[in-house]
Every structure is written in C-alpha cells, then in structure tokens.
C-alpha cells in the first residue's frame, strides 16, 4: 500500500498512460495482498456443482457463484449450471444475480447444490445518506431524493450535473451558458430561496462541505442524494437553505476487479439562426440605401454618384461572389473522447478503490475546448474490530478555452463583444481572409466587427483549475453501538485565468492589444467530529448523533492587466508595453458548528426525527454571529399496522410531515463591516490616493433563514414494482440577505441588511414502475414538479428594478423574483394611427412612424393614461422560472440488450433574447435575421411620388427574394424600442435528451478469458428539442447566476447534439 502511494505521487505529473499502467501494477500488488490475507486454509476440499433456477422454474444463466471470503468463483452457463473445484467443506457459497435476493448456502459435505433464487423486492432496504449518517429509505421522514447509479452508469456523463437533468422531482439542472464545454450545470432545488444571495445548494462531497462540484469525475461517484426540505438540510444549518447535495465517491467492493470505460464521439450544433444569405443581404442593403437616399430628399432617378457616400450602392454588389456563411465558418463538428480506468476490491483488511480518468471535448464553436484529468484513491483499513481508518484523495486538473465566449469570465461584456455574436452580424460580403486590422475590411460596408473566425483563433480565454481534495478519517467503537468518528480534510483549488486579444481582432477597441491574467488559490480545512449511538430496546429503536465541526477558508487572488504588445506571438503580460493593473487580495472565512440529532422508531412504524444545529460564521456581525437551526419530522408507516399487514400487495404506505429551518450565509466576507474604498484622483498631473467609505456597517447582519414545511406520502405496491412519492412543500425565507436600495442622499446606494421574506411552494411527484420484469424488462420513471416563487416583503420598498444594457428587470411584492420589465406591444402603427399631416393619433415614442412597433400606454395607479410612451409604461412581462419541470426515463432490457430513453423539459418560464437588439432590428450594413426582408413597407409612391420605390425589384426578382410583408415584422426605419415584449419568449420545451442503446457480453459468452463483462453502447444526446424559440437555446443566463437578472440570452453558446460510442470492460 505504502509503495503504491509513493508510486502514485511520483507519477502524478506524468502522462495519462503512465498513470494508467501504474494503476494496473498497483492493482495487482494490492489484490495479491488482499488474497493472501483473506484466504483461509482448509483441509478438506471438494468439487461442488449444481443448477440455479428462478422461482418460476426457468434456469438462470450468468449468476455469480462465489466461495465466501475468497476470490474463488464462477458464473452459471446458459443452462444455469455451474461447478467449482476445491471447495472447502466449511465454506459458504454465495449466489448473486441482479434483481434477485442473494443466497448463501453452507457447503458441508454436499457436492451438488441446486438453488432457487427469488426476485428481490426492489429497493426495499435501500440505505440513504442523511448527512453525518445513513437511514433506511423506507424509514425516512423528510424529503430526500437519490440519483441512482444506473442513471450515471448507463450513459456517458462528462459533468456531474448532467446526471441531474430530468432525474429528480424538484431539482432543476440547467446550463447557464448553453453548450460551453466544461461549464458545470446550475442546480436549483425547489426554486430560489433568496433574492440577492447565492441560490446554489451546498455540496457535501464525502462528508466535506463545498461550494461546488466542478471537475469531479462522474465515474467515481457512487451516489448522489439531495436533501430537499429544511428538515433534512437543517443538519447543515446556516448553509443548507438552498438544499444540500450529498455526493459519495466509490469505495472498494467485492472481488478485485478492474474496469475500463472509454467512449469517443462527435458533437454538432443543434440549430442555426435564420440569417440573411449573401443575396438577401445585398437586396436588403440596396433597399436600405435607397430608402436613406429618398428620406434625404433624393430621387431614385438621381445618378448614383450624386448620392451621399453612405447611400451609394457599389456596382460590385450586383454580381458579388463568393459570400461567406459566418455561422458555418465559426461552427465545427467536434470530437469528444473519454477514458477511465478504475480498480476496486475489499476484504478483511479493508477496501480500496482507485481510478484515473481523462476527458477531452472540443467545442462546436471553433477553438473552444475542455480537457480534464482526474485521479482518485479511496481506501479504508480495519485496524482491529473496533477501529477503522480511511483516506479519500481526489485530484483534478482541467483546462478550458472559451475563445472569448465565456460569459463567466466576463472578458467580453456578457457576450456583447463575443465572436459568436459578431458572426451573426458581419456581412456575408466579407471574405474569410478579411476583417482584421492587417487584412482590412470590405470596402464601403462600414463593418465595425472583426472577422469572427480570426477573433476566435487569436483570442485566448483560458481557465485552468488544479483541485486537490484530501480527507483522512478514523472511526472508533468506544462501546457497543457507540461510535466516534473524526475527519480532517483539506481542499485546495488553484485557478488561473488568461485573457489575450491582439489588436488585430479588436477593431472596436482602437486596435489596442489587451491582456489580463489572474490566479486564485482557495484552501479550506475542515475538522469534524461526531458521536453516533444506536440502541434497540424491544420495540424501541433510538439513534443519537452529536457532532461538532470547524472550517476555515483562505482565499488569495492576484490579477494583472496590460495593453500593447510589440509582437503578438508571445501572449504573457511580461512582454507587454504598458502594465495597466496589478492587484492582490486576501480573505478569510471561518465557521464553527455544533449539532445533534435524534431518531426514534417505535415498532418500525412510528418514526420521529429531531435535530438542531448551532452555527457561527465570520461573515456576520458580532451582535448576531451565532444562530440555531432546528428541525422535527415524523412518519407513520400505515402498512405495518395490523389493518394493512395482511394486504400483501402493499409494500409501503407512509405518511410523513416535516418542519425545519436552515440558512444561507452566502454573502461575501466582511459585508457587515464599513470598509474604506480607495478612490484615487489627480492633482497637479499626479495620481493622488484618496479614500472614502465604500459601504455602511451593519453589526446586526445575520443569516437569512428558510423555514420549510413538507408533507409527503411514500407508496409502494406489488413488491415495490410501483413506487410513488408525493411531496407538498412550502418554504418561507425570512430575514433575506438583501442589498437594500437606500436613498442616494445617504451617500450610498445600498445597505446589506436582513429584510423581507420570500415564499416558494409547490409539489413534486416521483413515479417509478417496473412495468415488465422478466427476460424483457421495462421500467419507467416519471418525475414532475411545480414550484411557485413569490416575494412577500422587501422592507421599506415594494419593488426594485435592475438593468443591464437594454434589459430591465423588476422584483416586486406578490410576484416572483426577477421579472422582465419592458414595454408591452400591440402590433404595429398603421397609417390609421396618423392624421394626414403625419401627426400621431395615438401615443408614440419620439421618432416613431408608420409601421413601427406600437406600444401600450399603461394606466397609472389612478387608472389614468398619460398619453405618452415613456418608462412609466414598462410592465412586468414574465420571468425565467418555469411553471413545471418534468423528466421521463424509460429503460428496456432484453437478453443482452439495454435501451434507455430520457425525455425532459419544462412548461412555462420565459427567456429574453437579448442578442436581438443588434441582429434583429433590420439594421443596414450589419447582417441579421432574414425575416426583415419581409418587414412592413409603407406605400412609398404615396410618400415619395410615383416611380420612387426603394425596393430593388430587378435584383429580388432575379434572386427570388420575397419582400412582401409577413404581417408582423415592423418597419425598420423610424424607431422600435429594444426593451419590449417582442424579445421575450416562452422557454418551455420538450427535449429528447438522451437515447442509449447497449449490448452486454458476459464472461460465458466470451469464453475462457480474463474479461468478466463487456458492454458496448451508442448514446445520443440532445436528439431533438421541441420549442418556439428562435435563438440557439433557452438554457442560458448571460448575466451570470445573478438572482435578480435571470434568463438572458446574449450570444449564448449553442447546445450540441452528441453521438458517442463507448465500451465498458470489467476484468
């Protein structure tokens, strides 16, 4: 073991293959040690054979037959027969088969042992983690969901969050930046329990609290459990308010085995936007220039040279060739590959699991990619009967390039300056070798955007993470059923970011080459101690937990930026001409907690759990640093009552109710203190340091706390063949950590305080049915959940708005957080809305004319309309939170084939298509959506006189371009506001998320080989999406995960359609 560790350490930096080889070597070593320790000498040995059948008499092939506590074993053949040599007389044979109850038979002097295996009732004794302990699933009294390892094993999952999609009621997993490679999904449990705070759940990975689950190898995960209601999450107190995700990694199990898991595939963009093609662009711009000339008082009969320069139509346009399709130019068919090796074993000495993994995904947008290497070792050792020690070590290295598209790094202004956005707007006239400082721009088009392909190629937007998670623990049984556990862990996350954009492709910035780089390190140590005590006294069963934990996080960041590079071949800042910024920053965060829990069960049918946690956090003022988080829950298994005991068909009928409180402390460090900001100025042509308070102190600042009430029914019938879980919940979050807007006359704009309350209520249904369970198996899982979010109170204010670019949001009492806030439209202004002199007869925006979008003049509080269109007419227009989310998984298996189909989607919810403000306005010169060809066109001859028609009739006839009005697209000339409800779309969708077809070859079929099992599969992701959205995807949050500005699509990275071929081999 020790050698292995040194070995591992030495090889850490070497290539993936070497690691794999060393893992294999180490594996051999450990299995020998294991076997040596566990084999028991025996005098009498014999051959044992027999046949295995199921209860209905059919023979069972592929049943594992193992001599207990040894590596000796075999598998039944196609007729269910087996035979094992040299079986000791005192040995026990263990028969196991998926879906059947394992059976143990003492050999004694028998030489023929026939066995009948019976169906296992499904999941009846499943044990789930509940935080600092485990519990029988059937005895749970709070709402906890589990992602089965089936869901993770059967299809290739690159990021852990993918395993959440469509799997669990009440859990929404959505990408915040479309298909950007390597971006972990955003997880929301039962809506949003906060306004200004962070709504991410707490992640607890192998017992250690963490803020995210990024870069974990999904292949290493044994189980994921989600504590949804506060009675379950309150054991994590101040950090459980948005739910808790418990992730356990794999521990060594059973016979020594090695698994190799590899897949390879391709991805492509799901869809393209309907932009103007080259001829359409030319036709449109001829039209725009003609109309501009007419509006300037000219005539169509004027010679071209007499027009003002910007209205002239170059003669070259007529027969221009070739055109560039910039969407095709930036997208690519991209390869994906993943390789994993793991080894696992357990025995008397303990258990060991270790693995190495490598994934490499090229993005569907050129020059974006994600690459990750993972390594893990989980080991336990039984020191003696009372003491057990263990270690969990996980290392990850990831490398991601967003090619200037990455919204999370913010280097391109929330997508505004991203190449993908530019690709939708640069003219098709521009050639692939145009559009940079060196190459120049197409003549007389006036494009201000650089060549998107070059921009992608030249831009560095690179994020690298090095993550090391270490944890060492020991368990000691002080007395019978009284166990003490201590765990010390240290997690290190090292992040480096590099951005570089040569002046060549940053035309808008004045050709200035820009670069910045930052590095952060976050080190967290956690020390946790718990005592567990179990006691059964007749019908009474009591479990007690008492614990304590401490945690400290140290954060460090260094950032530097520069401009101007003499040569752009070197991209680091040291060779830059002018450094522009250099800062470092450090923060410390600590928390300390005490907690306890009591479970009491009477006759295994009356169940009560109560817990309390006391938490202290450095993020709060000295007046309110500590808080209490209690919970209580109860359950009643009616099926155990005499009344229903006879009803064999009911396996479980349980009512449960729970109340609990948990909190959220996710506001930055030191927020309660008044800090001095540096506000420099200039005197006498020199920089002068200045200071001023950057915020107001609040020594009373404390947690926001979520109180949740949950009622549930768990119901299983027909030996658990049909299982239903239903939950109704109501969460009320009080003392919201709210950056309260305060009058500017105070000198500040906001003040972080505990103000107001918020409600989330809803219901969830989880339904699993084993429809057919024989040679042909069919299982269906369906989950549905609805959540309604409502702001109840915000202290002194009733609403507040937030704004970014043209997008406004409003959060007000009675509505959900973050509603879109804009003009309501009412078709378009027709000629009847103007008098013969052209004066408007209805309220319009300044500069509007016939054919422009008509805006609704909203009544004020007194019900009166002011006859003007201005920001008083903004109304709340939907929000990003869905009404209903659902997922349906159907799994089929027949002989060696397995097939699973996952469909998921949502109803309701809206998304703001922000990018439209630039490519959906019918602008001249830029490219845009082709619907503008069919925009409203007033009667030009009536306005400008006979023969004065700006539509280039000859050109559109020749190229068969339709210029007739489509009945909805407005007149692009005049004024159409950007902040109106035309940009807001229903984000409901139904997606065939995944189809996986697999084929498994067992050892028997493979003959006498080393291999136990081979599974080959083909898996398709994002097969088809049904929605009404004209953009790439509604899975977006271009303004980051800010709670108050949700659901904006500003050049979101498209989702990719993937096709992957994989193989899993068990040795």
Partner 1 sequence: MKTYIYKSFTLLGIFLIWSCDDFLTTVPESSYSVASAYKNQSDFEYAIAGVYSAQQDLYSTNSCWFRLIISRSDDTRNGSHNTYGVDQFTDGDNVSTLSVGWQTLWSMINRCNLILDKIESVEFSDSNLKSNITGEAYALRAWAYYTLAWQFGGMPLINKEMSVAETKTILRSTQEETFAFAVADFKKAIELLPATWSGSDLGRVTRYAAEGLLARLLMFQSKFPEAKPYLEDIITSGHYQMEPNYVNCFNDSHDNGKERVWEVQFTGNLSGEGQSFSTGMLPEGYTDAVLIPFPGTAEAMYASLDMANAYETGDLRKDVSIVTNIKVSGVLQSKYHYILKYCHYKYVPQSKTDWANNIPILRYTDVKMMYAECLNEEAYIADGEAFNIINEVRSRAGLTPLTLVNVPNQEAFKKALIQERRVEFAFEGLRWNDLVRWGIAREVINNHFMEKDEGEGAYSMDGDYREIFAIPYDELSRYNDKTVMWQNPGY
Q: Map the footprint of partner 1 across residues 864-883, applying CB under 8 A.
A: 870-872
In contact, 791 and 815? CB cutoff 8 Å: yes
Distances from the Cα of 570 to the Cα of 369, 452, 564, 566, angstroms: 21, 21, 12, 9
Which C-beta is closer to partner 1: that of 440 or that of 967?
440
Of residues 49, 259, 444, 1004, which one binds partner 1 by CB under 8 A?
Answer: 444
- Contacting range for partner 1; rule: CB under 8 A; set: 48-56, 58-66, 694-702, 1059-1067: 694-702
Q: What is the CA radius of gyration of the chain?
A: 33
Minimum Å distance from CB 478 to partner 1?
5
CB of 986 to partner 1, least distance (A): 28
Paired tokens of 59: 């023979």
CB of 799 to partner 1, least distance (A): 7
Q: Name which position in 749, 830, 831, 957 contacts partner 1 (CB under 8 A).
A: 749
Task: In whole angstroms, give the CA distance from residue 723 to residue 725.
Answer: 7
862 is an interface residue for partner 1 by CB under 8 A: no
Among 43, 643, 688, 1010, binds partner 1 (CB under 8 A): 688
Angle at 522 between CA 400 and CA 1047, to 5 degrees: 55
Residue with Cβ nearer partner 1 (594 or 892): 594
The one segment of 51-59, 147-155, 716-724, 790-798 that binds partner 1 by CB under 8 A: 790-798
Asked if 690 interacts with partner 1 (CB under 8 A), we say yes
N- to C-terminal Cα separation, the chain: 21
- 563 is a contact residue toward partner 1 (CB under 8 A): yes
Two structure tokens written together for 1064: 């899993």
Binding piece for partner 1, criterion CB under 8 A, among 209-217, 315-323, 641-649, 800-808: 800-808
Rounded (10°) CA dihedral 337, 365, 410, 666 = -40
751 binds partner 1 (CB under 8 A): yes
108, 322, 413, 677: which one binds partner 1 (CB under 8 A) = 677
CB-based contact 241:670 (threshold 8 Å):
no
**Phi and psi of 942, rounded to 5°?**
-65, -40
DSSP symbols for 299-341: -TTS-GGGS-GGG---GGGTT------HHHHHB--EEEEEEEE
* Nearest distance from C-beta of residue 309 to partner 1, angstroms: 4
Other Cβ atoms closer than 10 A to 744: 9
- Least gap, CB of 482 to partner 1 (angstroms): 6
The neighbouring-strand residues paired with 790 are 759
Which one, 10 or 675, has the nearer CB to partner 1? 675
What are the angstrom distances between the C-alpha of 280 and each of 124, 426, 450? Answer: 64, 14, 21
Q: Is 745 in the site for partner 1 (CB under 8 A)?
A: yes
| Binding status of residue 446 toward partner 1 by CB under 8 A | yes
Q: How do strand 202-205 and strand 244-249 relate by DSSP bridges? A: parallel
Burial class (CB in 10 A: 0-12, 13-18, 19+), 668: exposed
Encoded one letter per residue, x for contact with partner 1 by CB under 8 A and - for no contact, window 880-919 reads: ----------------------------------------
Longest dimension (CA), the chain: 114
CB 878 within 8 A of CB 984: yes
Q: Judged by CB under 8 A, does residue 748 bind partner 1?
A: yes
Nearest to 153 by CA among 164, 167, 165, 163: 163
Strands 1056-1066 and 1048-1049: unpaired
Q: Check residue 1008 for interaction with partner 1 (CB under 8 A).
A: no
Which residues touch 744 (CB under 8 Å, ≥6 apart)?
none
Subset of 299-328 contacting partner 1 (CB under 8 A): 308-310
In the complex with partner 1, which residue's Cβ is closer, 433 or 872? 872
Applying the rule CB under 8 A, the residues between 485 and 524 that interact with partner 1 are 508-510, 512
Binding to partner 1, residues 251-290 (CB under 8 A) = none
* Residue where the block lists tokens 């209205």: 311
CB of 128 vs partner 1, minimal distance in Å: 26
Tell me if 744 contacts partner 1 by CB under 8 A.
yes
Question: What mask of x and - would describe binding to partner 1 in positions 384 to 423, judged by CB under 8 A?
Answer: ----------------------------------------
CB of 926 to partner 1, least distance (A): 12
Q: Under rule CB under 8 A, which residues in 523-542 are in contact with partner 1?
A: 527, 529, 531, 533
Closest to partner 1 by CB, 74 vs 529, is: 529
38-97: contacts with partner 1 (CB under 8 A): none
Which residue stretch of 597-605, 745-753, 885-893, 1013-1021 sits at the interface with partner 1 (rule: CB under 8 A)?
745-753
**1044 touches partner 1 by CB under 8 A:** no
Q: What is the DSSP letter of 275?
A: B
CA distance 14 to 20: 10
Task: Please spell the DSSP secondary structure of 602-662, one letter per residue.
Answer: ETTTEEEEEEEEEEEETTS-GGG-EEEEEEEEEEEEGGGSHHHHT-TTEEEEEEEEEEEEE
Binding-site size for partner 1 (CB under 8 A) equals: 90
Give the pair of three-digit tokens for residue 682.
């200039």
Rounded to a whole number of angstroms, the minimum distance from the CB of residue 459 to partner 1 is 19
Tell me the per-residue interface mask from 630 to 659 with partner 1, x by CB under 8 A, - otherwise. Answer: ------------------------------
SS3 720: coil
With both helix axes pointing from N to C terminus, report the angle between 16-38 and 2-11 in degrees, rounded to the nearest 10: 180
Nearer to partner 1, 92 or 624 (CB): 624
Give ∠ CA 39-45-49 in degrees, rounded to 5. 105
Closer to partner 1 by Cβ: residue 618 or 1042: 618
User: Is 813 an interacting residue with respect to partner 1 (CB under 8 A)?
Assistant: no
Nearest partner of 50 among 82, 97, 87, judged by Cα: 82
Which residue in 123, 314, 523, 741 binds partner 1 (CB under 8 A)?
741
Rounded CA-CA distance 358/217 in Å is 9
Q: Which of residues 617, 819, 848, 987 is near partner 1 by CB under 8 A?
A: 617
CB 234 within 8 A of CB 240: yes
Closer residue to partner 1 (CB): 902 or 1045: 1045
Cβ 528 to partner 1, closest distance in Å?
Answer: 9
Among 333, 433, 585, 1009, binds partner 1 (CB under 8 A): 585
| Residue in 109, 622, 861, 862 binding partner 1, rule: CB under 8 A | 622
Q: Angle CA(1024)–CA(994)–CA(409) in degrees, nearest 5?
A: 85
Strand partners, 524: 491, 553
DSSP assignment of 88-134: ETT-EEEEE-TTB--EEEE-TT-SB--EEE-BPPTTTT-EEE-SSSE
Instruction: Please identify, among the stretches 128-136, 336-344, 455-463, 793-801, the one whose residues bind partner 1 according to the rule CB under 8 A.
Output: 793-801
């Amino acid at each position: 073991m020790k050698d292995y560790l040194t070995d591992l350490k030495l090889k850490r930096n070497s290539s993936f293959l070497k690691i794999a080889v060393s893992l294999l070597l180490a594996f051999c070593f450990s299995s020998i040690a294991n076997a040596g320790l566990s084999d028991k000498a025996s005098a009498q040995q014999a051959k044992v054979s027999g046949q295995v059948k199921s209860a209905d008499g059919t023979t069972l092939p592929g049943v594992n037959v193992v001599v207990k506590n040894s590596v000796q074993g075999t598998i039944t053949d196609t007729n269910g027969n087996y035979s094992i040599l040299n079986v000791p007389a005192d040995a026990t044979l263990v028969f196991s088969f998926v879906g059947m109850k394992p059976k143990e038979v003492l050999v004694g002097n028998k030489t023929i042992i026939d066995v009948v295996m019976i169906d296992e009732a499904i999941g009846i004794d499943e044990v789930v983690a509940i935080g600092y302990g485990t519990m029988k699933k059937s005895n749970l009294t709070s709402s906890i969901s589990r992602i089965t390892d089936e869901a993770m094993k059967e299809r290739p999952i690159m990021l852990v969050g993918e395993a959440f999609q469509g799997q669990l009621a009440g859990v929404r997993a959505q990408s915040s930046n479309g298909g950007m490679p390597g971006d972990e999904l955003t997880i929301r449990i039962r809506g949003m329990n906060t306004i200004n705070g962070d709504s991410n759940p707490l992640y607890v990975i192998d017992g250690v609290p963490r803020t995210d689950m990024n870069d974990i190898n999904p292949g290493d995960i044994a189980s994921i459990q989600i504590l949804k209601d506060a009675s379950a999450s309150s054991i994590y107190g101040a950090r459980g308010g948005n739910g808790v995700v418990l992730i356990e990694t794999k521990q060594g199990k059973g016979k020594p085995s090695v698994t190799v898991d590899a897949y390879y595939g391709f991805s492509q963009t799901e869809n393209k936007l309907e932009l103007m093609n080259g001829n359409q662009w030319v036709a449109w711009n001829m039209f725009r220039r003609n109309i501009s000339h007419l509006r300037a008082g000219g005539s169509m009969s004027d010679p071209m040279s007499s027009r003002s320069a910007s209205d002239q139509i170059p003669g070259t346009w007529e027969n221009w060739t070739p055109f560039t399709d910039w969407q095709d130019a930036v997208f690519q068919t991209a390869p994906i590959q993943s390789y994993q090796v793991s080894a696992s074993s357990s025995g008397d000495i303990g258990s060991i699991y270790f693995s190495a993994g490598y994934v490499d995904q090229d993005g569907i947008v050129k020059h974006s990619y994600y690459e990750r290497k993972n390594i893990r070792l989980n080991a336990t050792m039984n020191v003696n009967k009372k003491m057990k020690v263990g270690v969990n070590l996980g290392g990850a290295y990831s490398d991601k390039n967003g090619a200037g598209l990455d919204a999370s790094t913010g280097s391109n202004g929330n997508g505004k300056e991203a190449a993908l956005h530019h690709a939708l707007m640069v003219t098709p006239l521009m050639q692939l070798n145009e559009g940079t400082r060196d190459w120049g721009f197409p003549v007389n088009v006036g494009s201000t955007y650089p060549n998107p392909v070059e921009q992608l190629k030249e831009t560095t937007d690179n994020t690298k993470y090095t993550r090391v998670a270490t944890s060492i623990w020991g368990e000691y049984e002080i007395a019978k059923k009284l166990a003490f556990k201590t765990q010390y862990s240290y997690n290190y996350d090292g992040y480096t970011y590099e951005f570089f954009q040569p002046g060549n492709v940053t035309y808008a910035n004045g050709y200035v080459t820009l670069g910045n780089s930052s590095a952060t390190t976050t080190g967290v140590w956690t020390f946790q101690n718990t005592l567990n005590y179990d006691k059964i006294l007749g019908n009474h069963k009591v479990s007690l937990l008492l614990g304590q934990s401490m945690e400290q996080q140290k954060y460090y960041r260094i950032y530097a930026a520069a401009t101007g590079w003499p040569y752009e071949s070197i991209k680091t800042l040291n060779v830059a001409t002018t450094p522009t910024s250099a800062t470092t920053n450090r923060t410390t965060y600590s928390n300390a907690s005490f907690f306890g829990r009591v479970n009491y069960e009477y006759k295994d049918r009356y169940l009560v759990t109560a817990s309390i946690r006391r938490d202290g956090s450095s993020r709060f003022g000295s007046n309110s640093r500590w808080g209490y988080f209690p919970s209580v829950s109860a359950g009643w298994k009616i099926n155990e009552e005499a009344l229903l005991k006879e009803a064999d068909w009911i396996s479980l009928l349980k009512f449960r109710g729970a109340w609990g409180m948990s909190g959220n402390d996710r506001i930055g460090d030191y927020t309660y203190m008044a800090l001095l900001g540096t506000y420099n100025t200039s005197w006498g042509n020199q920089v002068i340091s200045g200071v001023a308070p950057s915020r107001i102190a609040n020594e009373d600042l404390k947690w926001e706390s979520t109180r949740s009430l949950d009622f549930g029914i768990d119901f299983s019938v027909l030996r658990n063949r049909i299982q239903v879980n239903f939950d109704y919940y109501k969460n009320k979050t009080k003392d919201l950590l709210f950056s309260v807007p305060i009058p500017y006359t105070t000198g500040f704009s906001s003040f972080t305080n505990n103000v107001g309350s918020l409600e989330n209520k809803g219901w969830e249904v989880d339904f699993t049915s084993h429809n057919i369970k024989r040679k042909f198996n069919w299982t269906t899982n369906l989950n549905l959940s609805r959540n309604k979010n409502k702001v109840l109170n915000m202290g002194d204010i009733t609403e507040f708005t937030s704004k970014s670019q043209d997008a406004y949001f409003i959060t007000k009492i009675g509505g959900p957080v973050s509603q879109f806030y804009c003009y309501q439209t009412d078709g378009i202004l027709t000629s009847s809305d103007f008098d013969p002199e052209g004066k408007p007869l209805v309220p319009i925006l300044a500069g509007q004319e016939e054919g422009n979008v008509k805006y609704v003049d909203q009544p004020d509080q007194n019900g009166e309309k002011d006859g003007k269109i201005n920001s008083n007419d903004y109304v709340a227009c939907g929000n990003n939170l869905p009404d209903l989310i659902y997922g349906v998984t159907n799994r089929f298996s027949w002989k060696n084939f397995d097939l699973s189909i996952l469909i998921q989607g949502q109803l309701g919810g809206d998304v703001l298509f922000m990018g439209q403000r630039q490519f959906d306005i019918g602008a001249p010169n830029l490219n845009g959506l082709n619907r503008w060809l069919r925009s409203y066109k007033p009667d030009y001859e009536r306005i400008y006189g006979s023969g004065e028609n700006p539509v280039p009739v000859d050109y559109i006839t020749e190229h068969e371009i339709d210029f007739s009005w489509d009945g909805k697209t407005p007149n692009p000339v005049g004024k159409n506001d950007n902040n109106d409800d035309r940009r807001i779309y229903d984000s409901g969708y139904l997606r065939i998320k995944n189809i996986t077809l697999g084929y498994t070859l067992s050892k028997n079929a493979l003959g006498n080989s080393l291999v136990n099992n081979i599974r080959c599969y083909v898996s398709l992701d994002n097969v088809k999406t049904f929605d009404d959205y004209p953009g790439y995807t509604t899975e977006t949050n271009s303004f980051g995960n800010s709670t108050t500005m949700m659901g904006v699509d500003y050049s979101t990275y498209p989702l990719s359609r993937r096709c992957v071929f994989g193989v899993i081999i068990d040795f």
